[in-house]
Structure 1
Amino acid sequence: MINLMDMTGRNVMVTGAAQGIGLEAARLLHQLGARLTLVDANEGKLREAVDGLEKDRVLALGGSVTDRDFLGRVVDQAAQRFGGIHGLVNNAGITRTAMIDNMTVEQWQQVIDVNLTGVFNCLQIAGTEMKKRAEAGERDPGVIVNVSSDAGRKGTIGQINYGAAKSGVLGLTMSAAREWGRWGIRVNSVAYGVVATEMTEVVRSDKFKDRYLANIPLARFLDPDEAVKSIAFLVSSASSFITGQHLSVNGGSHITA
């Protein structure tokens, strides 16, 4: 039987890989045969995350997506060990919650730095490596999946910094897809609704749960291991003619024509 999502021989870089969506994405891609380059600012958690994975197929490095020198070293090491970056899951993100009139400039900037500039940093540095291989004649040099959110499409209360960053990720995705399509580099985003991770504990609490579930036609929150199937699809050859798109994975909470 043909497995359209077979990743054997391909190296996928996952940021924010120590927990939540990033960790589940790494596990699923590993099961599909991928080699992994895993990045997270929490080096201790990252070491725990790689337990159970085949060590010869994993390169795990602790550092921030805001550190361009670090990211350059990551891509160089991955290229030397695995032959290049064949996929990038741009997932690292943080939240700093406050209403608009109470949000500090520091809270605004911290989220923008990680959730938007960090996405650009990874896309530019990993994507440039993909482009070099394309210029050398490689036909399928790589694919990039940026993790966005419904917050970037319809706004969110108490997280204007997060909503702005995730909206920016959508524009970044479309622009990169247009620029790099000629090289065979595909760039898409996944826009999630409420995923059951540590970052959404408040939303899923008894105080807010019913309000959010009322706006989800499927009437439940999304489990991380279910969420990352969409990432695997977009990274794989099953989506070989899809680029510049935003895949909504939200149980129907944001439906458009």
Structure 2
Amino acid sequence: MKETAMQDKLLTLENRQVIVTGAGQGIGRALASAIAELGGRVVAVDLNADALAALREALGHERCVTVAGNVADPSLAQQAVDAGVTAFGGVNGLVNNAGVTRTAMIDKMSISDWQQVIDVHLSGSFYFLQALGRHLLGRAKAGGDGAGAIVNISSDAGRRGTIGQINYGAAKAGVLGLTMCAAREWARYGIRTNTVGFGVVETPMTETIRGEKFRDTYLSQIPLGRWGEADEVVRPVCFLLSDAASYVTGQHLSVNGGYTIGL
């Protein structure tokens, strides 16, 4: 009985109002759904307004509000925080999940393909982290609860490197650095900041990697011998958002089927 009560208390997001970027499909949609199922409320952000509308209908208007736009737009982050404050009275969680890939070898990569990936993954993560941080610090300085949980979706491409994706690897390495700096700076306010690095997950963004040309090369490097599924990779993110991870900050968690064993 005691064990069950502890599980119920820790593995819940009933005290969380979470911004999720890239929530319209794939991992982001699975994340938004999981957060709502665990009792949390979601500010869903995505480029695709139609996908956001469908998500809100699925989760319920009392559980989800939406903000459509590009995370590379610095003003969008504050719009998302404001939407959460209006709908839920505040925001105390963030998952920087939005992503894009533009694949090319180093000598052939265009400046626009380089910049677009950096803008979405690295700059976008900074904009949202900064906006939420300002909101939480403002609450703390006003005598309120400034604690929060941030999970930045990084990638082990930022630690190990990936052929044809120097833009993506550089951006994700930057996200790791951004996370560690925020964790050190904000820990004293009760703001926890961590990263999760996914392996190859079955989503639209990884169709090229999972295609015939690259399939065998990638699968041969994954000890579990299969691609990840969106539903299973969101669980560690929910853990880090929850009070079950109340003593965890500044950490990177790889969820990749063993791809980085020994790294």
TM interval, short-chain normalised:
over 0.9
- Pick the aligned partner of 1:32 from 27, 38, 59: 38
Q: Deviations over 1:17-72 (max 9, x none)?
A: 00111100000000000011110011122212223212112111101112222321
1:206 aligned partner: 212
Give the one of 23, 26, 45 matched to 1:20. Answer: 26
- Select the structure that is richer in helix: 2
Q: Which residue of 2 aligns with 1:57?
A: 63
> CA offset at residue 139 of structure 1?
4.6
In the alignment, residue 138 of structure 2 is paired with which amino acid? Answer: K
Counterpart in the other structure of 1:223:
229
SS for the counterpart of 1:95 is coil
Taking the TM superposition and a 5 Å limit, the aligned residue runs for 1:177-192 are: 177-192=183-198
1:34–1:57 Cα contact (<8 Å) kept: yes
2 CA distance for matches of 1:208 and 1:108?
Answer: 22
Match of 1:101 in 2: 107
Taking only the aligned residue pairs, the percentage that are identical comes to 53
Say whether residues 1:163 and 2:165 are aligned partners. Answer: no
**How many Å separate the matches in 2 of 1:52 and 1:136?**
36
Determine the structure 1 residue equivalent to 2:122: 116
Aligned with residue 74 of structure 1, among 80, 98, 112: 80
Aligned partners of 1:81 and 1:135: how far apart in 2? 22
Distance in 2 (alpha carbons) for counterparts of 1:204 and 1:43: 27
For residue 201 of structure 2, what is the amino acid of its counterpart?
V
* Cα deviation, residue 187, structure 1: 0.2
Residue type matched to 2:88 in 1? F
Looking at structure 1, the residues matched to 205 and 113 of structure 2 have their Cα atoms a distance apart, in angstroms, of: 16
Cα separation, 2, equivalents of 1:216 and 1:13: 31
CA contact (8 A) 1:190 1:246 kept: yes
Provide the residue aligned with 2:91 in structure 1.
Answer: 85
Q: Which amino acid aligns with 1:10?
A: R
Residue 146 of structure 1 is matched in structure 2 by: 152
2:244 corresponding residue in structure 1: 238
Counterpart-to-counterpart distance in 2, 1:92 and 1:42? 12
Instruction: Tell me if the contact between 1:143 and 1:187 (Cα under 8 Å) persists in the aligned partners.
Output: yes
Q: 1:144 touches 1:188 (CA, 8 Å); kept in 2?
A: yes
Q: CA deviation at 1:114?
A: 0.5
Cα offset, 1:221, TM superposition: 0.9
**Greater shift in the superposed pair: 25-34 or 63-72:** 63-72
Long gaps (5+) in structure 1: none
Q: Say whether the 8 Å CA contact 1:134–1:184 is kept in structure 2.
A: no
Q: Could you tell me which amino acid in structure 1 is paired with residue 253 of structure 2?
A: L
The C-alpha deviation readout for 1:99-157, integer Å capped at 9, x for no partner, is 11110101100110111000000000011111222223445621100001111110011
Among 26, 51, 61, the residue aligned to 1:45 = 51
Q: Is the 8 A contact 1:131 1:185 kept in 2?
A: no
Distance 2:69 2:125 in 1: 14
Give the equivalent residue in structure 2 for 1:175: 181
Distance 1:83 1:105 in 2: 41
Aligned match of 2:202: 196
Which structure 2 residue ranges, 5 or more long, are not aligned? none
> Structure 1-normalised TM-score?
0.96
